[in-house]
Amino acid sequence: MVSNLEEQIAKFWRLEEINFNVYSTEEKAANIYFENTTKRALDNRFIVSLPYRDESKLGKSYDIALRRFLSLERRLAVDNKLKIEYTTFLDEYLSLGHMEIVPHEERDVYVQYNYLPHHAVIKESSTTTKLRVVFDAASKSDTGVSLNDVLCKGPCIQEDLICIMTRFRTHKYVISADIVKMYRQIWISERHRDYQRILWRSDPDKPIQIYRLNTVTYGIITASYLATGCLQKLSTEMYDRYPAACRAIGQDFYMDDLLSGAGTKKEAINIRDDIITVLNSAGFELSKWSSNAPELLRGLSTIDDKLDSKNSSIDKQKIKKLLGIFWNQENDSYQYKVEKYQLNIRATKRNVLAEIASIFDPLGLINPITVRLKLVMQKLWQLSVDWDEPLPTDLLNEWRKNREDLDSINSLVINRLITDSSCKKRIKKELTNADNLLLRGN
């Protein structure tokens, strides 16, 4: 519960801040290292190397990985459904070549190697894979140092979420999609794969096997940087042939989510097709397509049919969650969903902050309501009210009234498209200025 609240608060403050990324010396060094070491494999996918600070500080990690695996195995033994899903996930990893067994003769050859504990993360809201195996690169070795501790995280090189979502509102015709297993389409250089060893067996009666992960891995601190760096590099390499598509790849991706569009259906279809071509050239495939115009979804190959017969590459839901905001594709509008306020929940500073932090509104569309909630929080801070102390009567009444008003946003419908031409021009100018500032700052 505390961890979840901390994550919500961190996300809340990130959205409240206006950031202009100025790269640190370490981040600049990571960029140079990425440019110098990234190459293409025979299958034309990217091969990247892990950017280390000081790998010599990394100690032994086999024993802790073994203890964690045996604990996981006991859990799987009493939950057959979880075991089947976990085994299926890792079987797919193996069949796709995303991990491989370490031969006996290589197990102790390398002076430096590292073992990653792993566990299941279940996301019930996912329309594809409910269970994902996540690898714990924050697990400490016997020196008290983890793999993540010796890696450079790398800078954020994609555009700000607010810029991406604001630009999305300026296009008359829009498309959205995401990259299938983006991290796992990128190879890790062979010399660094033994830093990504794991322990696994599907049958407790068989010996524990040592595997190594061959691709960019969930849980490693630098994974996001490496993956988005490959997208940026790809957009630069292919720009001369596909300028509009590469501009979209460089500006309209937030992690693996694409939000793009154009002023006409023909332009949007051309951009869509060229984005597919450019991404496919490096082994990336797009799925879960959505659009406010059905014509933009015609002719799309159902790539998910190759991956999972239960899924389609076209997202047929009327209302789709788009980077945290609900988008109604039929009437092309944004909607909000908040849980109805419960009077029986004790109002404390902790609960007030949790409620405020759970409201995701990166574009500030409901600021007239949420700012009043934030003012209550500000007053609680000024009064030094303890985290679990009941709110003073006057602030309790103010909080309840404003929180009940928030329930009304469930009926709010906001047009996605900004139709005012002068407003649209100002937005595009501001986005261009923001892009230029970003480039000059780094």
Q: Tokens for 99?
A: 């991990």
Binned at pLDDT 50, 70 and 90, residue 343 comes out as confident
393-404 tens-digit pLDDT: 999 999 999 998
Give the separation between CA 351 and CA 395, rounded to whole angstroms. 14
Top pLDDT among 113 and 427 is at 113
And the tokens for 190? 């062979």
The predicted pLDDT at position 183 comes to 98
Based on the number of CB atoms within 10 Å of its own CB, is 186 exposed (0-12), middle (13-18) or buried (19 or more)? buried
Is the per-residue pLDDT at 340 higher than 90? no
The tokens of 418 are what? 């900004």
- Report whether pLDDT(3) > 70: no
C-alpha to C-alpha distance for 96 and 215, rounded to whole angstroms: 11
pLDDT per position as a tens digit, 417-434 = 997 665 656 555 555 554
pLDDT given at position 372 = 92
User: Please, which pLDDT band fits residue 202 given cuts at 50, 70 and 90?
Assistant: very high
Average pLDDT of 127-153?
91
Q: Are strands 197-200 and 209-213 parallel, antiparallel or unpaired?
A: antiparallel
Residue 266: phi and psi, rounded to 5, are -65, -45
3-state DSSP assignment of residue 161: helix
pLDDT tens digits, residue range 355-375?
888 888 888 888 888 899 999
pLDDT at 303: 45
Main-chain dihedrals φ then ψ at residue 307, nearest 5 degrees: -95, -40
435 vs 41, higher pLDDT? 41
Secondary-structure breakdown of the chain: helix, strand, coil percentages, each rounded to the nearest 5: 45, 15, 40
The mean pLDDT of the chain is 87
**Greater confidence, 14 or 224?**
224
Give Cα separations from 102 to 146, 191, 198, 270, 285 (angstroms): 21, 13, 10, 45, 29
DSSP string, 260-272: EEESSHHHHHHHH
| Residue 305 binned pLDDT confidence (cut-offs 50, 70, 90) | very low
Q: Residue 70 — very low, low, confident or very high, per pLDDT cuts 50/70/90?
A: very high
Mean pLDDT of 307-335: 77
Structure tokens at 215: 């691709």
Q: Regarding predicted confidence, which is higher, 305 or 130?
A: 130
Model confidence band, residue 439 (pLDDT cutoffs 50, 70, 90): very low
Residue 152: its pLDDT value, please? Answer: 95
Looking at residue 11, its pLDDT comes to 57
pLDDT at residue 435, rounded to an integer: 52
61 pLDDT exceeds 50? yes
Average pLDDT over residues 380-393: 91
The pLDDT value recorded for residue 184 is 97
pLDDT at 379 over 60: yes
- Look at residue 441 and tell me whether its pLDDT is greater than 50: no
pLDDT over 90 for what percent of the chain? 64
What pLDDT score does 432 carry?
Answer: 57
User: Each residue of 260-298: pLDDT tens digit?
Assistant: 999 999 999 999 999 999 999 999 999 999 999 999 999
Q: How confident is the model at residue 300 (pLDDT cuts 50, 70, 90)?
A: confident
Residue 154 φ/ψ region, left for φ over 0, alpha for ψ in the -120 to 50 degree band, beta for the rest: left
pTM: 0.85
Greater pLDDT, 13 or 310: 13
Beta bridge partners of 334: 327, 414
